[in-house]
């Protein structure tokens, strides 16, 4: 018997919030240049600060662009094009993001794939122009690099990030190369489907299966799938989740709430 770990990337291995917020701000300025007329550096900094609070709602990177614009609409009434910004607070975004998102996508007339594409391009440009600056806007959580280096378990990365970015960060920040067939990134399908693929592989027969995530909604999707009943599920409490979500996870028998040192020890 051995262990197989499927690991989320952002909020489990890597604190990328500073980088994704700055990439989103750059991309938002390209997508909606007129909205940023007269936006000074202190308002930009306010947006970047708020992005840390709302980060738990983000499932896929492009949503950061939507959050940047929504925060801007909250601050500047004259540029509002959405019906939801008036009176909206950061707490309101945390509570209601799944309802707000389709409304603003429609009212702003935006397209998911186009935003994903733009967000990826902005990152690629940042990497091309200033690799060390881009890398240093990310950090691995303490102990993660060694835990990956010395892991005796079979490790897969299951992330909504584009694989090439996860790969670059693991190489640069951890000195670890995870073979590309072990990184399931954006475009490889929903995480529940990736977990099914992993457990069906004949080479994984008999392994204990573990999935570590920081997003409770994703873990709840796994619980809904009877085929995935064999997976041990963990919510990392150091990642992008709220106190309320951690309490909810603790009340669900199937989910174990894990702290960072327990996680590192498990991988070894
Ligand atoms: Mg995550």
Cα of 14 vs centre of ligand 1, distance in Å, is 9
Residues 6+ apart with CB under 8 A from 89: 74
Query: What does the pLDDT look like over 69-83, one tens digit per residue?
Result: 999 999 999 999 999
Alpha carbon distances (Å) from 211 to 6, 160, 230, 235, 260: 5, 15, 11, 9, 14
Q: How far is the CA of 8 from the centre of ligand 1 (A)?
A: 5
Cα of 158 to ligand 1 centre, how many Å? 9
Domain with CATH 3.40.50.1000 in the chain: 3-15+140-267
Please state, for a pLDDT cut of 70, what percent of the chain lies above it.
Answer: 100
Q: What are the tens digits of pLDDT across the range 174-209?
A: 999 999 999 999 988 999 999 999 999 999 999 999
User: 146 alpha carbon to ligand 1 midpoint, in Å?
Assistant: 20
Q: What is the pTM of this model?
A: 0.90
Average pLDDT over residues 81-106: 97
**Residue 224: which pLDDT band, with cuts at 50, 70 and 90?**
very high
Kindly indicate the confidence band of residue 35, based on its pLDDT and cuts at 50, 70 and 90. very high
Does residue 268 carry a pLDDT above 90? no
137 pLDDT above the threshold of 90: yes
Q: Given pLDDT bands bounded at 50, 70 and 90, which one contains residue 231? A: very high
Q: How many angstroms separate the alpha carbon of residue 166 from the centre of ligand 1?
A: 12
pLDDT score for 38: 87
Distance 240 CA to ligand 1 centre (A): 7
User: How do residues 141-175 score in pLDDT, each as one tens digit?
Assistant: 999 999 999 999 999 999 999 899 999 999 999 99
Rounded Cα–Cα distance for residues 195 and 229 (Å)? 11
Mean pLDDT of the chain: 96
CA of 34 to the centre of ligand 1 (A): 32
Topology of domain 3-15+140-267, per CATH? Rossmann fold (3.40.50)
What secondary structure does DSSP assign to 213-229, as a single string? Answer: ES-HHHHHHHHT-GGGT
pLDDT exceeds 90 at position 87 = yes
According to the model, what pLDDT value does residue 1 have? 79
Using a pLDDT cut of 90, give the percent of the chain over it: 96
CA 12 to ligand 1 center in whole angstroms: 6
pLDDT beyond 90 at 218: yes
Kindly state the average pLDDT of the residues 243-268: 96
Distance from residue 10's CA to the centre of ligand 1 (Å): 4
């Amino acid at each position: 018997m051995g262990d197989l770990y499927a690991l989320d990337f952002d909020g489990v291995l890597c604190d990328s919030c500073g980088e994704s917020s700055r990439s989103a701000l750059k991309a938002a300025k390209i997508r909606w240049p007129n909205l940023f007329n007269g936006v000074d550096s202190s308002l930009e900094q306010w947006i970047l600060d708020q992005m840390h609070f709302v980060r738990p709602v983000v499932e896929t990177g492009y949503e950061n662009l939507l959050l940047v614009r929504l925060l801007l609409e909250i601050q500047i009434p004259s540029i509002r094009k959405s019906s939801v910004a008036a009176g909206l607070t950061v707490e309101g975004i945390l509570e209601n993001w799944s309802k707000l998102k389709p409304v603003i996508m429609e009212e702003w007339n935006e397209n998911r794939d186009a935003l994903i594409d733009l967000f990826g391009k902005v990152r690629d440009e940042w990497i091309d122009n200033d690799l060390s600056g881009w890398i240093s806007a990310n950090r691995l959580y303490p102990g993660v690099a060694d835990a990956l280096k010395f892991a005796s378990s079979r490790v897969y990365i299951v992330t909504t990030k584009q694989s090439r970015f996860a790969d670059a960060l693991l190489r640069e920040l951890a000195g670890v190369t995870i073979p590309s067939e072990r990184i399931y990134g954006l475009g490889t399908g929903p995480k529940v489907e990736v977990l099914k693929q992993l457990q069906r592989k004949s080479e994984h027969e008999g392994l204990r299966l573990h999935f570590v995530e920081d997003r409770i909604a994703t873990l709840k999707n796994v619980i809904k799938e009877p085929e995935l009943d064999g997976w041990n599920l963990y919510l990392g409490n150091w990642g992008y989740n709220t106190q309320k979500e951690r309490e909810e996870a603790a009340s669900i028998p199937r989910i174990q709430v894990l702290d960072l040192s327990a996680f590192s020890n498990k991988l070894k």
